Structures are given as C-alpha cells and as structure tokens.
Chain A
Amino acid sequence: MKFGVVVFPGSNCDADCLYAISAVTGQEVRYVWHEERDISDLDCIVLPGGFSYGDYLRCGAVARFSPVMEAVVTHAALGKFVIGICNGFQVLTEAGLLPGALYRNDHLKFVCKPQYLRVEEPNTPFTHFYQHGQVVEFPIAHGEGRYYADAETLTRLEDEGQVIFRYCTADGQITLDANPNGSLSNIAGICNQARNVLGLMPHPERRCDRIIGGTDGKKLFKGILESFMVRAISLGHR
C-alpha cells in the first residue's frame, strides 16, 4: 500500500504525517507537491494541517483550487482513501468533498491542547479498530475549527452515521464544556456518504508515539492499511 501527504505552501504537519504513517504502517509514503496532477500511484492521500496559502480569504479556500485537488477529487471518486486533518479538513469542506464548513472558534482564540474524543462510528475503513463509544485523546490546534452545517445536512450526517468523532469529557460525556470551539453537536470529525473520505480537526498523527504523549492515533492508520489489504484480497490482486 502507498500513502501520499500533500504539501501546500503553508502546510506544517506534513512531516509529522509522513513520519507517523511510515512508522505505524511500515508502508511507503511520499510527499505530494500541490502542483502535482498525477497521484494515481497512491492508495491513500492525506491533506495535512497547517495554514495553506496563509489561510487567506478563508481556511482552505485557495488550496482547493491548487492542481493537486483535481487529482484528489478523482482519487476520492475512485473510492480510494482520503483523510484531511485540521487544515486538510477545511480544504475538504471547501472542495465539497465533505459537507458543511469550519469557521472561527466561538471564543475567537486559537486553541492548542490535548482533547478527548468519542469514537461515534467504528464502521469506516479508518476507525474499525476502535470500539463504538471509545474515548481517545488527540491534540487539537486550531483557530477556525467550529463545525457548521445547516439543519438538513446535520440530520443527514447523523442518520447516515457520518459523524465519526465528537468532542467529549474524559469519561465520554458530550457536554458544552467539552466542546473546545463551538462546533455543532460537538462534531470533531465526519466522513462522506461513501465512507472513503474522512475529515477531522484533531491530530491523530501526533498520537502515534509514546514519547510525544500517547498512541491513540495508531489504530487509525493501522485501520486504513487493514482496510486496504482486505479490499485487495477481495479484489484478488494482493
């Protein structure tokens, strides 16, 4: 299996993602410059955190028009895996690959801290190694991570099981106090209807090594590898 990590001008979590994926999965990972148009060699592409194009206009608004995004849209349409983390999540919503939008935190401050999350849906190629309702701790680091979608979209996300992570307390309670940015329904991460595109504000790649605070993120990347292998076996060309 081969992973790619997109590098936009202003990305700053690209090296962390590359390192974490390589260390956790043992698979090949390469950087993908934002001007590349051919990513057909990749099975999973990661849009990392950072401040692509200086966050000018809106977070992710300019990045979505970079050449690589056309390839990412095609990649997603083929059913291959896409993950957007933090700024990457913002890019995916701007590109319309995920519904809703992310905007200024309700308290207007940049928030940077460890955060508890409840896994709402193990039924995705990304989260199947977690238990339903399991509490994990990933760090968050963002100023514009407040998830918004209109009522109709929100209902659809809930009904279809597309809400994957929610901000919660240490014991898994979904409360206002546990919500770090004012996101609707404490939403921290969602997937698309086809369940091959995941976006989340917290940083699983920063929780893949005990030396930097924990390993809760490992299962996510291991989960993708496993999903790919299972899919490859069922397609008969492993």
Chain B
Amino acid sequence: MQYHVQIEITLKPTVMDAQGTTIEKALHKLGHTTADHVRIGKFVTMEIEAASSTDAEHAAAEMCRELLANPVIEQYAVQVVDKEQVA
C-alpha cells in the first residue's frame, strides 16, 4: 500500500536558529508581538510503498537518519498521513 508521509526537519533546540530569531523580530515589528520561539525548518513530503503505516514510518525515519537530517544539528518528526485527509 502507498502511504503519504510528511517529515519535519528542524534545528535541535540547543542549536541557535538565526532564521527563526530574525523572523521573530520581523513579526514583532509588524505588531505580532504574541509570536515567541519562532523556529524555521524544512518540510518534506513523499509517498512510500509499505506493508503498513508503521513500516512506512520506519522507512521514513531511516531516510532521515541517512540523508534528510544531519543528526549533529537537526531533529526530525515523521507523520504518516491518511491519503483522504491530504486530498
């Protein structure tokens, strides 16, 4: 079965995110003073052919460890999404 997978890659909380800080300042300037702890990351989507949702999730996590994220500075979160929900 084919699963739709969404992956979020962000800098670890211990790594300073200069983009996030800059965007947060810009938001504040625009009057959005309620915005706090802004972090910028990457969003990857893909279809994965797998026997189950868990298998799809494991496959995506493996891809993150090998290539999509750099474990020295980044963390990732994998979500397998219901196809109908995406459409």
Q: Which residues of A contact B (CB under 8 A)?
A: 57-58, 61, 65, 93-94, 100-101, 103-108, 148-150, 182
A61-B67 in contact given A101-B72, A103-B73, A148-B15 (Cβ < 8 Å): yes
Name A's interface SS: loop
B22's closest neighbor in chain A, by CB? A108
Q: Which residues of B contact A149 (CB under 8 A)?
A: 72
0/1 string, B1-25, CB within 8 A of A gives 1: 0000000000100111011001000
A100 to B67, CA, bound (A): 16
**B45 contacts the other chain (Cβ, under 8 Å)?**
no
Does B33 sit at the interface, judged by CB under 8 A? Answer: no
Q: Which of B19, B42, B67, B72 contacts A148 (CB 8 A)?
A: B72
A61→B70 contact, CB < 8 A: yes
What class of interface size applies to chain B in its complex with A? Answer: 10 to 19
Residues B67 and A101 in contact, CB atoms below 8 Å apart: no
**Does B22 contact A148, Cβ atoms closer than 8 Å?**
no
Q: How far is the CB of B67 from chain A (nearest CB, A)?
A: 7
Q: If A108-B22, A148-B72 touch, does A103 touch B15 (CB 8 Å cutoff)?
A: yes
> Which of chain B's residues has its CB closest to A93's CB?
B72
Q: How far is the CA of A57 from the CA of B67 in the complex (A)?
A: 9
CA distance A42 to B18 in the complex (A): 40
B18 and A105 contacting across the interface, CB-CB below 8 Å: yes
Q: With A and B bound together, what is the CA distance between A182 and B73 in angstroms?
A: 15
Partner of A100, one of B11, B19, B72: B72
